[in-house]
Amino acid sequence: MINLVLFGKPGAGKGTQAAFLKSQYQLFHISTGDLFRHHIQGATELGKLAKSFMDKGDLVPDQVTIDMLEETVTKNPDVKGFIFDGFPRTTAQAEALDAFLSGRSMGITATVALEADDDVLVDRLINRGKTSGRVDDQDETKIRNRFEEYNNKTAPLKSFYIDQGKFHSVNGIGSVEEITNRLTALIDGLL
Ligand code: AMP
């Protein structure tokens, strides 16, 4: 089984690259952001709760996020592996994920961070916001708040995974294809 964690600030290209990796390695893609947006569309209680955080660019509380993630993994027992996209985003989530996976005789194979400068990312997100309709992509203050959340809560996960010997980073600047090639070279070298 291959279980990959895709890391990166908002706009780093996690979703785009996950879509490719999913078919290349036949993995099941779980994006917690997409799951929340699905709940928002369905106007579920979880969707209403998540929206109140997402619209401001804040992280959704850990426990509801962890519960949703675990439910999705549990519902897909027969897959070859998972791409976790946008999860974990806090140390509590990373610890919960490790405990949950090891309880099922699974584990994280590797964590890959897509690295890019904030200014490049802001431009990408503002452009995406013109077509995505995402409230959190349309306002630079909200985008900067998402970066703050990343720096404060998600960046510490780098040392969490370095300590486990599972942290890798890839230059996220370039064409989609160039970045895909960098990712594939890295992942093939790990398998
Ligand atoms: P994304 O689509 O990954 O950019 O996520 C969009 C928003 O969903 C984030 O800004 C958070 O508000 C929320 N979100 C997604 N994944 C998580 C997570 N693992 N923990 C907390 N909030 C999350």
| Ligand 1: centre distance to CA 37 (Å) | 9
Q: What is the CATH number of the domain that holds 127?
A: 3.40.50.300
Range of the domain at 141: 2-185
- In a domain, residue 162? The reply is yes
- In a domain, residue 148? The reply is yes
- In a domain, residue 160? The reply is yes
- In a domain, residue 61? The reply is yes
Mutate to test the pocket of ligand 1, among 29, 32, 91 (most ligand atoms within 8 A of CB): 32
pLDDT digits (tens, 9 = 90+) for 23-37: 999 999 999 999 999
Please identify which of the residues 51, 128, 158, 166 carries the catalytic annotation. Answer: 128
- In a domain, residue 11? The reply is yes
- In a domain, residue 190? The reply is no
- In a domain, residue 191? The reply is no
- In a domain, residue 159? The reply is yes
pLDDT digits (tens, 9 = 90+) for 83-134: 999 999 999 999 999 999 999 999 999 999 999 999 999 999 999 999 988 8
pLDDT digits (tens, 9 = 90+) for 154-168: 999 999 999 999 999
Enter the pTM of the model.
0.95
Mutate to test the pocket of ligand 1, among 17, 36, 125 (most ligand atoms within 8 A of CB): 36
HEC string of the chain?
CEEEEEECCCCCCHHHHHHHHHHHHCCEEEEHHHHHHHHHHCCCHHHHHHHHHHCCCCCCCHHHHHHHHHHHHHCCCCCCEEEEECCCCCHHHHHHHHHHHHHCCCCCCEEEEEECCHHHHHHHHHHHHHHHCCHHHCCHHHHHHHHHHHHHHHCCHHHHHHHCCCEEEEECCCCHHHHHHHHHHHHHHHC
Cβ of 10 closer than 6 Å to ligand 1, yes or no, is yes
Cβ of 28 closer than 6 Å to ligand 1, yes or no, is no
The total number of structural domains that make up the chain: 1
